[in-house]
Structure 1
């Protein structure tokens, strides 16, 4: 009988739903989610259970019920907010993975900073604060510009660069106001940090028996300053691994006690070397695993599934291409009528062109819209990052966002899962 993996929640199905095929190549998948799966998802499952995934006792009980009928060999999730519940399921069923405290140490950015500092891992200076006055004092000590961010959110929500003392109160209010329902309010919920003015990358790795194994590095493009909206990524399969970068990633894993599973570590390059920005105990988001597979031939979803089942992965790069993703946003707040793509105008290098919003949805650019402000996505695969950039530039005019209140903007159409082209 094939292994059975419990998958906790599907969030942003279009962004990570394609990973179901990767996981399904290793094991049968049983979904634990807060709603009935879409038909396109249900057909790929061995079964599913509807449960409040943020109610940990209920989630564990649902997992035990499945385990009473079939032998469960692993559990995983790719949603930042569901990682804690996933760790509780792994502990309750005796499955591979890190404990809930390790997950919390990664999710709570202040605990992350404390653990990295104790181990001497390079990172920006950081202080946790409860008021705008405390934030001002911290920024005075650290020195401007500073970055303010929520203590335990993700995807750059609420993150803002502040360049002067007179802007600090507004920056604090922006970071303090960023909320996501399941995340509890903390009075000391904002970090004031040193700004590292250098290129930003993310490294997706697998960790087994405490040993770190980098899979690929993605170079990040951010926009909408002073915010840090993630508008694109590129993975270059020809790029040699950076030993210094990988040493810092491995040191971060060790400092946090992360010894089994997948990580997505974000870093910036300072004058004296790499600094850890944050450590996420999950697969990368924003289609980065898709880019990694297209550029290197390494399927992070397969690696994650094997790790979850306690099997040793053996990923072997087999490609040396470049792959890039770009997200499109409206110029102003609008109500979507439809997203249209003229496929005849897409360059051959475009592997994915898709809309991300349904008719009637109101979307806005950052900071109000954030990730939810994206209306389309483009993915290009070429021999070089420059080739990807040229293809993405050429593809943008083929995408039109039709609104119910104004003139069409350049944009993309379709459903992400339907438009995904397997490499």
Structure 2
């Protein structure tokens, strides 16, 4: 039986655990805070955590020595190790190197997660032209914006050098906004959000993401492009797939150029870009599958599991050459810690992913701070046209906060349609239904 180790997980990673169960693989989850999942995931999804065959609790799942020791002591053999959680992609890549398993280049992941170094690398390699400045503390923002010659232009975009879930990502439109931006960012109290910030050019346009599976250096399987629904400048509340317009090929080329620029050579990526009047520009590279239901959307549209493909890629069993094992035999932990055989470089004969219908997810958020009093029944939401799945992130009695991150979502629907447009329309209608049937008591 093959053993697959996950270092923490995100919402998409719950489906990866289910994939292992369906395929007869033994799954192991390493975590330093199981209660974190109860905060991150809707209650209806938590049952999939029960599918894990073994849970290893450690004091810090980002500590290489600690996790390595725990795995050696508690797991006889490892055939694949990966993560779907942004906060642990770097440690997972380092562990793969230590155990001689297939994995991504840790240096590429480290670079992608440092939003300042990422921007500087793209500039240096001609992959993009967005300018940026770095401040070691948000308290330095007023001084930076007051510099007479080198201050960023307004509007500008402020975000943590390292972060996740849109936390701390804000538009500053002028000097009058600085006070409110400071007040908001001072209140951040979340794991894995850096005290340093990057201040960069504001990009006006539509936010999209390129979903990609990289099978080797320079070998990128394009899953497709997804659009985004955004509120308050940066908080994502929806997406639809496959998004097709005149910029699609340019978006794909720009995304692949970014992966090559940072040296990302193995695994999934969720590359965010903004399509401006002069073409697409990069926002960031997430070196994992899109979270928050994004992978479910891709699976519904393509009839192929992206999380399953990630696992099979790491096991060495993913067929990317139309009938042959293009990445060689599966490798596991070797007795002396030597590296496993790397993927065989071959050009895929055809795209793995062919969208067959549209899919979209959308979230209900509220501008009213307060407490949820009543919500519609899940069955009533599921009865709306095109609804495939419903996730409740809040229940009656729960507080409602400002829409400033993914943790502000109240309810989420996943819908399908004949194409991307119909799926998106179905999702919007379902969220409108939720909104009309939900009562929120305001505070103050």
Q: TM-score range by the shorter chain?
A: 0.7 to 0.9
Distance 1:221 1:233 in 2: 6
Query: What's the offset of the Cα at 1:137?
Result: 3.0
Q: Which stretch of the first structure deviates more once superposed, 98-107 or 336-345?
A: 336-345
Match among 13, 18, 23 for residue 21 of structure 1: 18
Distance 1:206 1:63 in 2: 27
What runs of 5+ residues in structure 2 fail to find an aligned partner? 39-45, 321-350
Q: Which residue of 1 aligns with 2:51?
A: 44
Match among 186, 207, 217 for residue 225 of structure 2: 217
Q: How many residues align?
A: 394
Q: Map 1:303-382; keep pairs closer than 5 Å.
A: 303-314=309-320, 316-317=352-353, 319-336=355-372, 339-341=375-377, 343-344=379-380, 346-358=383-395, 360-367=397-404, 370-382=405-417
Q: State the SS of the aligned residue for 1:180.
A: coil
Match among 186, 209, 218 for residue 202 of structure 1: 209
CA offsets 1:46-71 (integer angstroms, 9 cap, x no match): 3221223133322121222244x2x2
Distance 2:277 2:432 in 1: 38
Is residue 104 from structure 1 mapped to residue 103 from structure 2 by the alignment? no
Q: State the SS of the aligned residue for 2:51.
A: coil
Query: What's the offset of the Cα at 1:246?
Result: 1.8
Is residue 180 from structure 1 mapped to residue 217 from structure 2 by the alignment? no
Q: Which residue of 1 aligns with 2:420?
A: 385
Q: State the SS of the aligned residue for 2:250.
A: helix
Q: State the SS of the aligned residue for 1:316.
A: coil
Distance 1:362 1:334 in 2: 6
Distance 2:189 2:286 in 1: 18
Q: State the SS of the aligned residue for 2:101.
A: coil
Is residue 282 from structure 1 mapped to residue 288 from structure 2 by the alignment? yes
Q: Which residue of 2 aligns with 1:31?
A: 29
Q: Which residue of 2 aligns with 1:419?
A: none
Match among 258, 269, 279 for residue 263 of structure 1: 269
Query: What's the offset of the Cα at 1:229?
Result: 0.7
Q: Which residue of 1 aligns with 2:177?
A: 167
What runs of 5+ residues in structure 1 fail to find an aligned partner? 408-423
Q: State the SS of the aligned residue for 2:203.
A: coil
Query: What's the offset of the Cα at 1:127?
Result: 1.2
Tell me if the contact between 2:160 and 2:194 (Cα under 8 Å) persists in the aligned partners: no
Distance 2:237 2:394 in 1: 16
Query: What's the offset of the Cα at 1:318?
Result: 5.1
TM-score (norm 1): 0.84
Query: What's the offset of the Cα at 1:77?
Result: 0.9
Q: Please provide the CA RMSD for this pair.
A: 2.8
Q: State the SS of the aligned residue for 1:365.
A: coil
Q: Which residue of 2 aligns with 1:421?
A: none
Is residue 147 from structure 1 mapped to residue 157 from structure 2 by the alignment? yes
